[in-house]
Amino acid sequence: MENPVLNFDAELKIAFDKGGIFAYPTEAVFGLGCDPDNEQAVMEILALKQRPVEKGVILIASNYSQLLPYVKDDAIPMDRRTEIVSSWPGPNTWLLPKSVKAPDWITGGSPLIAVRVTAHPVVRALCDFLGKPLVSTSANLAGHEPARTVAEVEQEFGGKVQIIQAQVGEQAQPTQIRHGLTGQVIRA
């Protein structure tokens, strides 16, 4: 996977802080993201996708530390922790117990939160630049195929999102989602 060297600038940070929505490449598809603590921005993404809030969204981060404000870390049993943490960075999304800080507009009202530490270099750099995780939901209308190219994102969303110009990873399918307490596969 070839990606340009990205130099994120102050304008991108300002847009993020003001509730901007970004389309960015992930391991398999483009994702739509924003500040997970900005309810209005998350609701705008859900409206663009025509996705109900009850389905929740994933948080994607460059490292587990960025996810700690949203995860009730001490509720993860030690026998599950090794498998979860050793699967990152990588294309593995886990449903973990949510912290009291994790908002319902992220979790869909569930006691669990979907989280991933990505291996995609562009998303890692973006999360590091912004200093926190991003909302991550596939860049598509509900029921449509996820966008895999910049052109597909532009076709689906026009000028409604700021596109991070880079390529998706080599995963054939969106990431697997597993229940962190049981190991059960929720989405293959």
Q: How many CA atoms lie within 13 A of 94 on its CB side?
A: 29
The pLDDT of residue 7: 66
The pLDDT of residue 9: 84
Long-range pairs of 138-141 with CB within 8 A, sequence gap ≥ 24: 138/29, 138/30, 138/31, 138/32, 138/174, 139/23, 139/29, 139/30, 139/31, 139/32, 140/29, 140/49, 141/48, 141/49, 141/50
Q: 10-187 is classed in which CATH architecture?
A: Alpha-Beta Complex (3.90)
Q: Is pLDDT of 161 > 60?
A: yes
C-beta separation of 107 from 39 below 8 A: no
Per-residue pLDDT tens for 1-22?
Answer: 444 446 688 888 999 999 999 9
Mean pLDDT of the chain: 93
Spatial strand order of the sheet with 176-179 comes to 162-163, 22-25, 30-33, 134-138, 58-61, 112-117, 92-97, 176-179, 185-187
Per-residue pLDDT tens for 23-69?
Answer: 999 999 999 999 999 999 999 999 999 999 999 999 999 999 999 99
The pLDDT of residue 176: 87
pLDDT more than 70, % of the chain: 96
The pLDDT of residue 4: 44
pTM confidence score: 0.93
What residue spans define the domains of the chain? 10-187
